[in-house]
């Protein structure tokens, strides 16, 4: 259904703010999901510069039909200052990526980027528990991912950022909760099992790699938060080596539903739709790394294993519903069940 079908004076408003804003994928997806849930609401992208973000949030808060603010780079720390209440992890990080109204009209915030990223890499086959992780970027998303990796049992977390003060502030916070586990890293990924790019590096073709790509090795898992381009040069380099990967779209798929549930169901987080969508992405990622799986005897090959899957990104959904599960997808869904049970 088109979002214009119900657009009227009763439409509830959500906005997503960032600088830049053209790269965001959430307005169409979240609006569609709201309509699917029977909500007369729309998410609108708004380009707000850092110099204007405080004034914008203050002014926008006066709108009585504004229910939520979704926050992207670089406003996640600034938006936190406007929250009268927040979740424990948002307070710990001093940042939010989503805000919803309290009963008195004030804002309640959460930072779910980290949970979304870790859920996504688990579905893609990465096991963060016991790993040595390198997170490049100590901004809002990078801070949330660093905390989530330690929450997930990472044995060691290295943070690297060109802004030394911001990096050290993050390390200080992490070491209050996980003493001795977080330290300063560099652009050298050598010795780490999980590599995360949480910087804008890779959005433009001329951008340098966020880490030394020539030091990546096959046993590493490499994740990126960038959604445009869909596959960054870093992820391409990792896939050429056979590394496990997660693209920014995988994290976006997870965070979209977490945002919707936070907005509409306080205290209730559902991941069924998230893990099933990520299972599709994970099966396709396996294809891109040249791993093929045979279907059951007498059955046609699963679309996820078709060499053309990159050009047919939606075709793999049939492998999750037709009963013709190949080993990789079956393993992915088993991991999804574990996440649901937590």
State the catalytic residues: 76
Pairing mode of beta strands 244-246, 12-18: unpaired
In the numeric block, the tokens 């990622």 are attached to: 285
Q: Would you give the DSSP letter of residue 18? A: E
* Distance (Å, whole) CA 333 – CA 327: 10
Q: Is 100 helix (H, G, I), strand (E, B) or coil?
A: strand
| Token pair for 150 | 């330690």
Q: Is 158 helix (H, G, I), strand (E, B) or coil?
A: strand
DSSP H or E run through 246? strand 244-246
In the numeric block, the tokens 């992490």 are attached to: 174
Pairing mode of beta strands 194-197, 182-184: unpaired
Q: Spell 157-175 as b/e; 16+ CB within 10 A means b.
A: bbbbbeeeebbeebbebbe
CB-CB contact of 161 with 178 (8 Å): no
* Distance (Å, whole) CA 174 – CA 166: 13
Residues contacting residue 230 through CB under 8 Å, at least 6 positions apart: 247, 248, 249
Q: Is 134 helix (H, G, I), strand (E, B) or coil?
A: strand
**The sheet that has 194-197: what strands, in order across it?**
182-184, 156-160, 132-136, 194-197, 221-224, 244-246
| Token pair for 330 | 């079956």
Other C-beta atoms lying within 10 Å of the C-beta of residue 27: 18
């Amino acid at each position: 259904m088109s979002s214009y079908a119900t657009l009227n004076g009763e439409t509830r408003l959500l906005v997503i703010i960032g600088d830049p804003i053209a790269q965001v994928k959430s307005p169409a997806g979240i609006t569609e999901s709201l309509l699917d849930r029977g909500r007369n609401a729309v998410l609108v992208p708004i380009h707000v510069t850092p110099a204007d973000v405080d004034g914008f949030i203050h002014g926008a808060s006066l709108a009585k039909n504004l229910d939520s603010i979704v926050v992207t780079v670089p406003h996640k720390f600034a938006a936190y200052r406007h929250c009268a209440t927040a979740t424990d992890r948002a307070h710990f990080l001093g940042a939010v990526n989503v805000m919803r109204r309290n009963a008195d009209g004030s804002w309640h915030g959460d930072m779910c980027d980290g949970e979304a990223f870790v859920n996504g890499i688990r579905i893609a086959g990465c096991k963060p528990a016991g790993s040595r992780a390198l997170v490049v970027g100590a901004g809002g998303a990078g801070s949330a991912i660093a905390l989530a990796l330690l929450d997930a049992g990472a044995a060691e977390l290295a943070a690297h950022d060109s802004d030394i003060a911001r990096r050290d502030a993050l390390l200080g916070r992490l070491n209050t909760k996980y003493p001795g586990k977080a330290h300063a890293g560099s652009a050298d990924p050598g010795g780490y099992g999980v590599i995360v790019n949480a910087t804008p590096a890779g959005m433009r073709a001329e951008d340098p790699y966020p880490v030394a790509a020539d030091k990546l090795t096959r046993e590493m898992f490499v994740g990126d938060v960038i959604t445009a381009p869909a596959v960054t040069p870093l992820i391409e380099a990792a896939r050429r080596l056979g590394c496990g990967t997660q693209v920014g779209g995988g994290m976006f798929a997870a965070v979209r539903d977490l945002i919707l549930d936070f907005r509409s169901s306080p205290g209730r987080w559902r991941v069924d739709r998230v893990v099933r969508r990520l299972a599709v992405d994970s099966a396709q990622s396996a294809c891109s790394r040249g791993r093929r799986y045979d279907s059951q005897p007498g059955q046609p090959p699963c679309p996820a294993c078709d060499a053309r899957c990159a050009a047919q990104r939606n075709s793999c959904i049939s492998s999750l519903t037709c009963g013709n599960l190949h080993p990789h997808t079956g393993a992915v869904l088993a991991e999804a069940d574990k996440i649901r049970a937590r």
